[in-house]
A and B are shown apart, each in its own frame.
Chain A
Amino acid sequence: MSIDGVSGRTSYLGSSLINIKNQLDTLTEQLSSGKKTTTYAGLGIDAGTATGLRAQISTLASYADTGTLINTRINVANLSLQGMSDSASTVKAAAAGTTLTLDNTGKTAGQTTAMASFTQMVALLNTNAGGRYLFSGRATDTPATEPADVMLNGSGTRAGLTQLIDERAQADGTTGLGRTVISSPTPTSVTIGEDAAGSPFGLKLSAVTTTDANATVTGPASPAPGDPLEMSVDLGATNPSDGDKFTFTFTLPDGTSEKIELTASSSTPLPAGSFAIGADSTETAANLNSALNTAVGTLANTALVAASAITASDNFFSSSPPQRVDTSTNPPVALRDGTQTDTVFWYTGESGSDPARGTAVAGIDQSISVQYGARANEDAFVTALKNIAVYAAVTTNASNPNANGQLTALDSRIVDNLAVHTGKQSIQDIQADFAGAQTAIATTKDRQTQTGSIAQSMLDSIQGINDNEVATKIMALQTSLQASYQTTASLYQLSLLKYLPAP
């Protein structure tokens, strides 16, 4: 700046001094703040680079935060997954080694274990990590499932699994002949047929075979289009020989097959699974009819009970809306969709046709994102839930002579269903997905730490100062300022006025 108001010599020297003083002020400010400048202008041509670097550092910091948060969430999810996997194993072991002793509630020790495991698993599916439900898909503010008790026992007007199992057991005819009809169209023949065409309930005819060369087997086939299936054995005119076998195969609602094998026998007493050879083929056919009635009745009250319950559980857990027996016809011949008012919808999270992992995506770098979403209605969870739930829910009447048969059938099915099957999703598969995400986060974080420190040191070199350099400059300026002050003072002393004699 130029100085007005005093004469030239003052101005010129003065403004030089002020200039040095200003530089000194700037340097002192730099030294105390550690920053080169407080304006964009002060950064010079590096202002743009600094803006970019600051944005980069800020982005990296938020990526680091994201990575840490996601890691925590995945750790929590992993704990839940491990817990669920353990629960399933416990139940499987219990079902395989259980005693068939029923307690006062009609459950075995293994089933009591299953009840505890089921409650545990539902709690794990509703795990909340920092206000976020991890197994609800995109509905992260909603619990993933109804409470365990509601799922099993219903709530208000909404039916739970137990009621669905009961309804299904009735619809499957577990106390009768499993929805089959046994008749004798001719004196020498026995026919077994389904009671309704296309019905999903009860025993489904699969095959009929015999070792009796004189007998004729037919079916399963519809006698006329639209009629229910039938299969029959016609003994013909000749009696079967001792040891001839007649095998009836049925498919149960859960997809398993059961055989009824009846052997012609003339022994007394009649061995189990046999029928007496009568005087002629007509009498033998009547014996076969009666033996078949007994055997089908037993099958319906043992294996079919277990299969019916498992199917009911599958209908409850695997479909949305849940499928339940349509009781508008008697006997029922179809399933219907449950409604929100009459049936518990166990999964309360978000459903979608897209992969569950994609329901939670976090960007951990400019172009890298990890997927860590999960839905409680994924196959792996549903398989575990529906088998543990049914095992926990079924009650057996100890006074029923078929009680042991029912329990054995149920145990074997649970053991098989809880085993890992190739081609089907397991909880371990989900754990592997999560582990992949964590690896990606760790790798990215390492790289970002390096990039971040490079960016920070570049930024420091742009907007920071070198303490030594600034201190040296201050020393130099201080010397220069002192010298100037000294010189200026001396210059002002140099006036002729000083040397004139006082008048």
Chain B
Amino acid sequence: MGLSQALSTAMAGLRANQAALALVSSNVANAETPGYVRKTTNQVETAVGTGAGVNVAGVNRVLDDYIQSQLRTETSGAAYATTRANFLSNLQSVYGDPDSSATLEAAFNALTTALQALQTSPESQSARTGVINAAQAMAQQLNSTSQGIQTLRNSAETGLTSAVNSANNALTQIAKINKQLLNFPAQDASTAALLDQRDQYITQLSQLMDVRVVAGDGNQVSVYTTSGVQLVSGSDAATLSFNTQGNVTPSSQWSADPSKSTLGTISISYPNGGSIDLVSSGAIRSGSIAAYLELRDNTLVQAQAQVDQLAAAMASALSDTTTGGVAYPPATPAPAPGTPSGFDLDLSDMQTGNVIHLTYTDTTTGEQKNISIIRVDDPSVLPLKDDATVDPNDKVIGIDFSGGMASVVSQLNAALGGANIQFSNPSGSTLRIVDDGASGLSDVNAASVTTTASSLTGGGAQLPLFTDGGNLYTGAITSAGSQQVGLAGRITVNSALLADPSRLIVYNTNPTTPSGDTTRVDFILSQLTTGTYSYSAKTGVGSNATPYKGTLLGFTQQFTSLQGNAAAAAQQLADGQNVVLNTLQKKMDDASGVDIDTEMANLLALQNAYSANARVMSTVNSMFQSLMQVL
């Protein structure tokens, strides 16, 4: 029966129009909702009698998968770059405004200015106090720089904690939605909404780490890191955990060995058991988590190493004396031919961390060799590595001094006996280093010992002006690590000097140094301004093979420019990354976003179609009425 068929077709048309209208309204309503993907109806025609009806089979999400996956990758990259740029820009404020007095270089310049004033008026109490104040300001500037760096490391650690929490939330939600979607296999509006939500969580996750999403059957997705670690599989989500270790200090270091690590690590555990350390396996390569890890374990550690190195070089420059050995045997009486010859060194002032430098020639190869013998008082740190000194060409031997001279001599003979160098202890704390004499396989060229002055009035110009929080800084190596680590945070002006600033001039008490004697000030000033030192490659300045050698100011100049350039480069990278991200976001929005004009045009069309369908119905209705009247 034609009429009733037309009526039901018009009804179907009205229903389809209503469904489409509902979508238009939800598109318009969600035009500004993040992650909302424009929906269209999936209409199919159905054969009804001689004509065709219409049926709404489902809802389509207008999505470009390729752009979406690209967008996720770039989101990770942008989060990484932005986090890094933010931290480095904060680090820049730790170094201060270059034109202000709150910078390391300004404090250093103020110290040299005060020293010059003292050199001109050594008897002046105010000039002496001026130097002490400037030295304290320098120490405090180092302290606050170190503190600033550690605060940033702490922020990175805290950042990791919240990032891991957010990641866990996202993973759980993705798994939950996966599970819900199992119950709604059809492509209807609620499914589409769930898919939108899941994509949104994946985008959140990709800000934290780099992820790869693999789509499965039945609207299921699995999420992996790009390095291949599974995060979500179907309705099972892995759990990330971060064992934060509380306060971060310069000596806090992450280590793959959990018993040695003093910083938190991220591990992943699966519902069915099993756990992986994501930090040691380097599984996270992008996103803000990777940026936090990079900052906490490398960038900021290097920044700390730079200020520590500056503090250490400055402290040692003022307190260390290198004394050459006394030639043995003496020239008169003439020694018998073939007598082993070498040097006598007085080790009485040697402190833990102080170094004996020995140069000898292996006459069979003609090769000159440098040996650095470092005093340690804790045998557990032995043997030392060659990078314990900055010198790239030396072999480092750590010797435990806790057993007295006899033990020192036997350790040295054990270590270097094979090189035909002999050690002995003729008396007291004298160390005699001689070659093998008549056999002529080796020649001792030079020997010297570097000692740290512990007294302010030891009779030499050297003085421990800066101390390691009250203790002498000697570069000691203990089971807690090198004394240099974190020195910038602990460095202070010697309290004995604060109590008696006259010790800046008086280096001898018997006879008392006259108050106009500038020997010590001259020494301090020349060590600080013109003395050149070698700096560890751990600071990022110079390399292991050719360490940077220069003045203290030169080194400061090197590392502040290094940090400045790094921060500028990171900012440029972040800006560039954001441009890419914005462009992609725009493309994504062009493809999947709601365009109000389109929706309005659709609305007009639907309105017209609806009136047309309604007209069909009313026409059929009047035809039915005509028919009824006829009957």
Interface set of A (CB-CB < 8 Å, partner B): 1-2, 4-12, 15, 35, 37-45, 47-48, 50-52, 54-55, 58-59, 61-63, 65-66, 69-70, 130-132, 136-142, 350, 359-363, 366, 373, 463, 495-497, 500
Contact across chains for A47 and B516 when beta carbons are under 8 A apart? no
Tell me which residues from 113 to 143 in chain B have a Cβ below 8 Å from any Cβ of chain A: 113, 116-117, 119-124
- In the assembled complex, the Cα of A150 lies from the Cα of B359 at a distance in Å of 62
- Residue B455 at the chain A interface, CB threshold 8 Å: no
- In the assembled complex, the Cα of A51 lies from the Cα of B33 at a distance in Å of 50
In the complex, residue of chain B having the shortest beta-carbon distance to the beta carbon of A366: B530
Interface set of B (CB-CB < 8 Å, partner A): 31-34, 36, 78, 82, 88-89, 92-93, 95, 97-99, 105-106, 108-110, 112-113, 116-117, 119-124, 514-518, 522, 525, 529-530, 553, 556-558, 560-561, 563-568, 571, 578, 581-582, 585-586, 588-590, 593-594, 596-597, 600-601, 603-604
Contact across chains for A140 and B123 when beta carbons are under 8 A apart? yes
| B596: chain A residues within 8 A (beta carbon) | 495-497
| B112: chain A residues within 8 A (beta carbon) | 58-59, 62
**9 examples of A-B residue contacts, CB within 8 angstroms:** A2-B578, A37-B98, A39-B93, A41-B88, A47-B561, A54-B105, A66-B120, A463-B98, A497-B600
In the complex, residue of chain B having the shortest beta-carbon distance to the beta carbon of A139: B514
- In the assembled complex, the Cα of A52 lies from the Cα of B552 at a distance in Å of 12
Given contacts A8-B589, A35-B99, A47-B98, contact A496 B113 (CB under 8 A): no
Contact across chains for A40 and B109 when beta carbons are under 8 A apart? no
Contact across chains for A15 and B563 when beta carbons are under 8 A apart? no
CB distance from B500 to the nearest CB of A (A): 15
- In the assembled complex, the Cα of A138 lies from the Cα of B123 at a distance in Å of 9
- In the assembled complex, the Cα of A61 lies from the Cα of B36 at a distance in Å of 65
Contact across chains for A138 and B558 when beta carbons are under 8 A apart? no
| Most chain B CB neighbours (cut-off 10 Å) among A2, A495, A496 | A2
Contact across chains for B604 and A40 when beta carbons are under 8 A apart? no
| Most chain B CB neighbours (cut-off 10 Å) among A7, A42, A58, A138 | A7
In the complex, residue of chain A having the shortest beta-carbon distance to the beta carbon of B518: A361
CB distance from B486 to the nearest CB of A (A): 23
| B578: chain A residues within 8 A (beta carbon) | 1-2, 15
CB distance from B114 to the nearest CB of A (A): 9
- In the assembled complex, the Cα of A47 lies from the Cα of B104 at a distance in Å of 14
Starting from the known contacts A40-B98, A139-B514, 11 additional A-B residue pairs (CB-CB under 8 Å) come to A11-B582, A15-B582, A48-B560, A51-B561, A55-B109, A59-B109, A59-B113, A65-B117, A65-B120, A350-B514, A463-B98
In the complex, residue of chain A having the shortest beta-carbon distance to the beta carbon of B116: A62
| B99: chain A residues within 8 A (beta carbon) | 35, 38, 463
- In the assembled complex, the Cα of A130 lies from the Cα of B124 at a distance in Å of 9
Q: Select one of A9, A63, A142 contacting B116, CB under 8 A.
A: A63
| Most chain A CB neighbours (cut-off 10 Å) among B99, B119, B518, B604 | B99
- In the assembled complex, the Cα of A52 lies from the Cα of B550 at a distance in Å of 13
| Most chain B CB neighbours (cut-off 10 Å) among A9, A41, A62 | A41
In the complex, residue of chain A having the shortest beta-carbon distance to the beta carbon of B30: A7
| B529: chain A residues within 8 A (beta carbon) | 59
Given contacts A9-B593, A12-B585, A62-B117, contact A140 B95 (CB under 8 A): no
| Most chain A CB neighbours (cut-off 10 Å) among B32, B109, B530, B558 | B109
Contact across chains for B597 and A496 when beta carbons are under 8 A apart? yes
| A70: chain B residues within 8 A (beta carbon) | 120
Contact across chains for B564 and A44 when beta carbons are under 8 A apart? yes
In the complex, residue of chain B having the shortest beta-carbon distance to the beta carbon of A41: B567
- In the assembled complex, the Cα of A6 lies from the Cα of B121 at a distance in Å of 68
Contact across chains for B516 and A41 when beta carbons are under 8 A apart? no
CB distance from A486 to the nearest CB of B (A): 21
Contact across chains for A132 and B121 when beta carbons are under 8 A apart? yes
CB distance from A236 to the nearest CB of B (A): 65
Given contacts A47-B560, A48-B557, A363-B116, contact A41 B89 (CB under 8 A): yes
- In the assembled complex, the Cα of A136 lies from the Cα of B109 at a distance in Å of 31
